[in-house]
Structure 1
Amino acid sequence: MATELPSVDSEKAIAAIRDARPPVTDRFTYLTIIEANLSPAVLPALDEILQDAELTQEIGWDLVFNLVNLPGSETCLETIARLGNPREVILKVLETLELLDTATPQGDDEDAPTTVLPQVVMKEKKFVTLLGMLAILHHRIKTKYPSRFLAQTLRTVFHTYTPTPEATAAVVNLVHNLSGRQRPALPSRKSSINVANPDQDGDASKNAPDPEAEVKDNKEDPSEVAMQRKLLLSFAVCVLETYTNQNDMAWAARLLEFYNPERVVPGRRTLMASFREDQQLLERDDNVGRLVALIKDLGLDSYSKQLLAEISENAPIKDPLAATDDAAGPNDVALPTGGCIALIAYWVFSTTIFDADQPTPDMNILPEHFALLEKVLEDDAEGQIRSSPGTSEALVAIGLWLHANNHISAAPYNPEINPSGSEDEPTSEFMQYVHLLTLVALYHPRLHVRNSATMLAGHIFHANPSEDDKLRILYDLIENCTFASLKACAITWLREEIIDASKTPSPGAGTASSAPAPGGSTFSTPQPLDTLQYVIFPNMNVVSSMEAFELLDFLRQNVPFLLQAVNFGLFLWSSSKWKHVLPANADATVKERWFRPLSEAVDAIRTAMRGSLKNEDEVEEARSLLGDLDVLGERMMALADAEGFKAAEEADRA
């Protein structure tokens, strides 16, 4: 069977679209003929035909969808953007943007999928091409109220934007082109991403006039200029929010590495190094830097109390572009809450890490940063943290910077702020703030952010000027929190308070009194452990009556807390150094009610697990739990040999 050469088919297709041009056929018939003969080979000829501005105004908008799905069609689409009816073409471009997820790439050979770019890359290329068209089209429209067209365009672009390097570069180009402020491009120190920008690099003299022009000159109402600029600003901040929510920027973790170089493990690659050396991570920093520079060009170039008030006092705003149809002026166009938080976080981060000249916020942990945390997390904290991980990380990064710069509180300490109105159990701002941070430490999907939130919570806990409040926070966490990791953190904070108090011992330290000497710390006395010993070392006799599966589930949920409690016991009883903070008879009572039943239960379940795993496939989770229980058992053996515990046992025998 003879096969026709592709070149012959191409010649026939080119002849068909040339010979059928109106008035030989009507517009609808001609569009059908073009669609039937479209292929990459006919695109140069089609572009020549589209140079007829009158014809392109008639049919150009109807070709957008089919052309954007055809590789190599960028020149034809640029011609349509320059010569077609701008109003009709804009609508078709926006419609095509919304259909990108359902569009399928086309090629010469549908049976050869290796010649077709992956779908995600094709979508990205189409997005870049369509945004290039929009920049040209918006400059061509001559209307009294261009902001109405702009609002619809920005809304559609934002809803179809995916935070890839190429798509982000296209967004930056679009906003620069539409804003009218062209500053020299800053040399990129990190990224080589560059996308087509036909509005800036093409020949604007080829643009046809708007056939439906409502104004004859290029003068715009100043209020319209302000409105367009605010729309572009809101859009740029929305894009920043989306980008940081879907790309791990590691701002908080990198700040921690910068502030605590002594904690960096020798030989292990740090996040700071990764973001300097890994090309993909370099591009993330570069993309955010470009977006922030764009936002600065649009007028948001300094921190103000008004900005803080807008994002902390009003209800969280997620999609301000959706509400711009009813905006009467620029003041009615809001900025997204998460985007503003990301902007502030980048300012403090880049000032610290890159030594950049960025604004820094005039705020404190209390009350301003607390108000931000509360606003973002007050409604479905877990859902907010998981759906907007970049926003919650940005909040942690801001908090770390505020703590490092000693911006804790500008107001005198108020020990009894109690929103519930209960006078029995006042809740301080410090307690509420630490509670919100622990939610991030629990629910954030990224480990390094959870660790950063935990570290910040510890910093603010220790900065609390009220020792009574610290005890309330510790008791609340250990007694009421259902998460073992946070209860373990509370024990760590208690140990740190005891160590810190020992650095400046009071004259009364080491006495039997539970009250500190004048000028001394409560944590240098037995009072904290007298308050907390029954939640740190609770009665464990209940475990002896548990079924094996119940005991296994109990240990699985509580191993981090139990291990930290055992380590705390070793800290207290391994030497006589901390004898002055132990309540009377604590060693004997802790051993009887907590240590013995727990030790027996751990030994029993370890033996049972080893027996069951010998003849079964070892599940990774079971092996991991057994490893944790082995560590717990070893630490309990060490505690049993500790000086204080031995003394307690000898006293029992006596």
Structure 2
Amino acid sequence: MAESEDPLVQALPPATDYLTYLTLLEYQLTPARLPVLHKLLQDETLTTNIGWDLVQMLLPMLPQSSECLQDIARLGNPREVILRVSDALMQLQPEDEDDEGGRFIATSLQAALEAYTLMPTSETTMSLLEFFRDVSPSKRPAPPPRAASESSVLRVSEASAPDPEAESQSTTPADNEEPALVRRFLQFGLIELVKSYLLSFSSPTDPGMCWAIRLQEKLRPGTRMPGGQSQTEAFSESKELRERDMIMAKITALSRDFGLEDKLLLEIVSLPSENQPPPLDFDELPKKADQIPLERHGALLLLAARAAMAELFSSGQVIPIAVFPDLANIFANFVGGYNTPDDVAFGQPQALLDSLLTLTVFSMQKTIGTPATEREFQDFILALTACTARQHFSSVRQIPGIIVHSNPSPTARFKIIRNVLEEENYLTVKDSAIGWLQNEILSAVNESPTAEPSIFLNPHYFSVLFPSLFNPAQLLLNVSSDIVASWIKFSQSLVPSIHAALNLYYILVSSADLRSRLQLGKTYLFFRNRFLEPLKTLLHAFQADLTQNGGDGKIESAVGEDMCHTGMARSVELISHALEQVEDVVGDAFVVSDAELQEPSADDIARVDKIRKATEP
């Protein structure tokens, strides 16, 4: 029979109405006609109108009907597919589960996940979770609905604790793999759901789950900035955000019901990407449960969710993760080997970064420990700092500094600071390294007088860092021929590190003790002539371009007047204010003439050179 003569084609609406067409399909649809139906379902109008009822007819024909189900998921209403799949699987008889349950669930799961990824809303997430719960070998009655709140998250998690009787019922003889397959497919599906759900919060203005900052607010309340609403308060007061917590509590509880142990998740995320198994092939379904791969990103997100739920809501316990080597290894597997910090900060989804930072805050509750090698330490700090580079909250950006300071080797701490300050690719996190240096200097001042002298109060060690702290080369911008590009680079890339460096210099010069210990008088002429004066010249060039100052207004024309004025306030005016403060304090500190100022001696230069060679990153 020619395809045009097929009853499915001839009866297409408007030849018949949609209800009549569905009745025809009920009697005429066979596995042999599925390719024809697949072509017809490319019509979005047809698929939208008949997809809901068609799912029920297609499920018994799995796996041959999987393409048609995916058409409905893609072009129809995704929630319909999820609900229909769930409804059909509820009708599975126990003997079906033993014989073909694994294959049936796998192909049905493919359709449900295909639909879910198109619309990962709270409603579809709850529908898919109900689907998972209903077909679980250890299923239990659904808990009654509750208002989302911190206490309700606790109750939901407790209500979903693993059922020992259900666990024992899922144990089957070795010669029957079907229940184990069903369980593993559900583990696979739940991990895919976690990934899609958390990645759906991708808007730049969406707060996501904010696990890392909420953990910081709870575990380290002293790091919270005064004033304004905390993220803990935001999630408590917002109905939408409370609902997210409730859903994640259900997910984490269900994951334990499915036998997803922390140890298994840790094993997955501890393997590098090249050692991970290939993705699940739904066309060639595995015969054994352990052949079904669990996706590593989803495993990481679930592990972080468990850690967050455990700390924020006392919901379950999570195996502690040692910072070294375990957490360092996880970071290497997910964000290691980048070229610049922005490759991570802008190249990875916020859900992944938040999860990595959540595990870091969680792990820092225990003794951080000592890295096996300096390379392990440096790689971890650089990867961690890249994850915090573009985070909004200062307490999150401070996390790497805490781990830097925990290293018992002052030389290792000095080397990582020097590495970030000198390496051009790390420019966007240079301000972080300056913050680490400031903390090390101030901590050394407060050490016991009987303690061994700190290298961070040694003027020769400080002199090694001085040229990279106040780098004249970064001020060589071509303002005469391209002032717009120069201003953009200055305001977007250079301001954070310049501002941090000026603040550090202000603190050091303001203290007579630190000024003397670090022998800042010997480097003052370099600072003034090679950095301070060129910086003032650069700022003047940007200000002179403004039309209000009689300039050509090239910057305003290029980026818009409002953006220009906002950018000027956050860059040129900010640095100008810091410069004024520095000039005030150096005017009081260095009151002698230039001729009377000491300069580095030959011995000083030799010592600095020796330290520079010994501390090469």
Scaled by the length of structure 2, what TM-score is found? 0.76
Give the aligned partner of residue 562 of structure 1.
Answer: 498
2:542 to 594, 605, 609: 605
Contact 1:155/1:322 (8 A) holds in 2: no
CA contact (8 A) 1:540 1:597 kept: no
Which stretch shows the higher mean deviation, 287-296 or 393-402?
Answer: 287-296
Partner residue in 2 for 1:118: none
Give runs of aligned pairs for residues 258-407 of structure 1, distance below 5 A: 258-300=218-260, 302-304=261-263, 306-315=264-273, 317=276, 320-322=279-281, 325=284, 327-356=286-315, 358-378=316-336, 382=343, 386-403=347-364, 405-407=365-367
Q: Find the counterpart in structure 2 of residue 70 from structure 1.
A: 49
Rounded to whole Å, the distance in 2 between the matches of 1:153 and 1:291 is 20
> Which amino acid is 1:168 matched to?
T
- Contact kept in structure 2, 1:522 and 1:528, CA below 8 Å: yes
Change (3 A) 1:318 1:384: farther
For the residue of structure 1 that corresponds to 2:262, the secondary structure is: coil
Q: Which residue of 2 aligns with 1:242?
A: 196
For the residues of structure 2 that align with 1:541 and 1:334, how far apart are their CA atoms?
Answer: 49
Q: Give the superposition deviation at 1:387.
A: 4.7
Higher Cα Rg: structure 1 or 2? 1
- 1:387 and 1:534, CA in 2 relative to 1: closer, same or farther beyond 3 A? closer
In 1, the alpha carbon distance for the partners of 2:95 and 2:17 equals 29
| Matching of residue 182 in structure 1 with residue 139 in structure 2 | yes
Structure 2 unaligned residues grouped into runs of 5+: 150-171, 202-207, 597-617
Which residue of the other structure, out of 445, 457, 463, is the alignment partner of 1:524?
A: 457
Amino acid at match of 1:38: D
The residue correspondences of 1:127-166 to structure 2 (distance < 5 A) are 127-136=81-90, 138-139=92-93, 142=96, 144-162=99-117, 163-166=120-123
The alpha carbon displacement at 1:389 in A equals: 3.0
Residue-by-residue CA offset, 1:219-256 (whole Å, 9 max, x unaligned)? 99631111111111111112112212222111112112
1:406 offset after TM fit, Å? 2.5
Could you list the per-position Cα deviations for residues 249-300 of structure 1 after superposition, in whole angstroms to 9, with x for gaps in the alignment? 1111211222332343444122111211212212222222222222111112
Residue 383 of structure 1, CA deviation: 6.8
Does the aligned pair in 2 maintain the 1:252–1:393 contact within 8 Å? yes
- CA distance in structure 2 between the partners assigned to 1:125 and 1:544 by the alignment: 55
User: Unaligned 5+ residue runs, structure 1?
Assistant: 1-25, 104-122, 193-217, 418-426, 508-517
Equivalents in 2 of 1:385, 1:318: separation in Å? 27
Distance 1:371 1:89, change over 3 A: closer
CA contact (8 A) 1:341 1:394 kept: yes
Counterpart residue identity of residue 7, structure 2? F
More off after superposition, 343-352 vs 139-148: 139-148
Q: For the residues of structure 2 that align with 1:183 and 1:544, how far apart are their CA atoms?
A: 67
Distance 1:229 1:366 in 2: 33
Tell me the alpha carbon deviations over residues 349-388 of structure 1, each in whole angstroms, 9 at most, x when there is no partner: 11111122x2212321110001111011236683796354
Distance in 1, Cα, partners of 2:449 & 2:291: 59
Q: Distance in 2 between matches of 1:148 and 1:624?
A: 59
1:88 and 1:59 map into 2 onto residues whose CA distance is 10
Per-residue deviation at 1:90?
6.7
| Paired position in structure 2 for 1:576 | 512
- Contact kept in structure 2, 1:191 and 1:279, CA below 8 Å: yes
Change (3 A) 1:298 1:171: same
> Greater CA deviation, 595-604 or 164-173?
595-604
Matched residue of 2:251: which SS?
Answer: helix
Counterpart of 2:487 in structure 1 is: 552
**Structure 2 residue identity aligned to 1:359:** Q
1:537 counterpart (467, 470, 482): 470
CA distance in 2, matches of 1:558, 1:503: 31
Q: Percent identity?
A: 19
What corresponds to 1:595 in structure 2?
532
How far apart are the structure 1 equivalents of 2:331 and 2:189?
Answer: 23
Secondary structure of the corresponding residue to residue 359 of structure 1: coil
CA separation of 1:55 and 1:565: change in aligned 2, threshold 3 A: closer
Instruction: Report the secondary structure of 1:612's partner residue.
Output: coil
Structure 2 residue 478 is the aligned partner of structure 1 residue 499: no
Cα distance change on mapping 1:622 and 1:352 into 2, 3 Å: same
- Asked if the contact 1:303–1:361 (Cα under 8 Å) also holds between the matched residues in 2, the reply is yes
Distance change (3 Å), C-alpha of 1:440 and 1:652: same
CA separation of 1:338 and 1:545: change in aligned 2, threshold 3 A = closer
Three-state SS of the structure 1 residue aligned to 2:592 is: helix
Between Structure 1 and Structure 2, how many residues are aligned?
A: 541
Query: CA 1:523–1:191 in structure 2 vs 1: closer, same or farther (change >3 Å)?
Result: same
Structure 1 residue 313, shift from structure 2 partner: 2.4
Correspondence list, 1:159-238, <5 A: 159-162=114-117, 163-191=120-148, 222-238=176-192
> Secondary structure of the equivalent of 2:432?
helix
Q: CA deviation at 1:398?
A: 0.3
Counterpart contact for 1:240–1:339, Cα < 8 Å: yes
CA 1:437–1:85: 2 relative to 1, 3 Å: closer
1:190 to partner: Cα distance: 4.5
State the one-letter code of the partner of 1:488: D
Inter-CA distance 146–526: structure 2 relative to 1 (3 Å threshold): same
Partner secondary structure for residue 294 of structure 2: coil
Q: CA deviation at 1:504?
A: 1.7
Given the alignment of the two structures, is residue 648 of structure 1 paired with residue 565 of structure 2, yes or no?
no
**Structure 2 CA distance for partners of 1:249 and 1:544, relative to 1, 3 Å:** closer
**TM-score between the two structures when normalised by the length of structure 1:** 0.72
CA distance in 2, matches of 1:598, 1:614: 21
Letter in 2 for 1:626: M
In the aligned structure 1, how far is the partner of 2:504 from the partner of 2:227? 29
Letter in 2 for 1:500: S
The CA deviation string for residues 557-596 of structure 1, in whole angstroms up to 9 with x for no partner, is 3111111111111111123142244236123332232222
Structure-2 residue corresponding to 1:120: none
Shift of 1:128: 3.6
Code of the aligned partner of 1:327: P
Query: Higher mean Cα deviation, 631-640 or 127-136?
Result: 127-136
Query: Structure 1 residues 470, 219: closer, same or farther in 2, change over 3 A?
Result: closer
Higher relative contact order (CA 8 A, sep 6+): 2
- Once the 2 structures are TM-superposed, how far is the Cα of residue 91 of structure 1 from its aligned partner? 4.7
Give the conservation status (yes or no) of the 8 Å contact 2:211–2:354: yes
* Whole-angstrom CA distance in 2 between matches of 1:158 and 1:318: 20
Judge conservation of contact 1:236–1:295 (CA < 8 Å) in 2: yes
Per the alignment, do residues 637 and 653 of structure 1 end up closer, same or farther by CA in structure 2, a change over 3 Å counting?
Answer: farther
SS at match of 1:313: coil
User: What is the CA–CA distance in structure 1 between the aligned matches of 2:404 and 2:10, rounded to whole Å?
Assistant: 70
* In structure 2, distance between residues paired with 1:504 and 1:574: 20
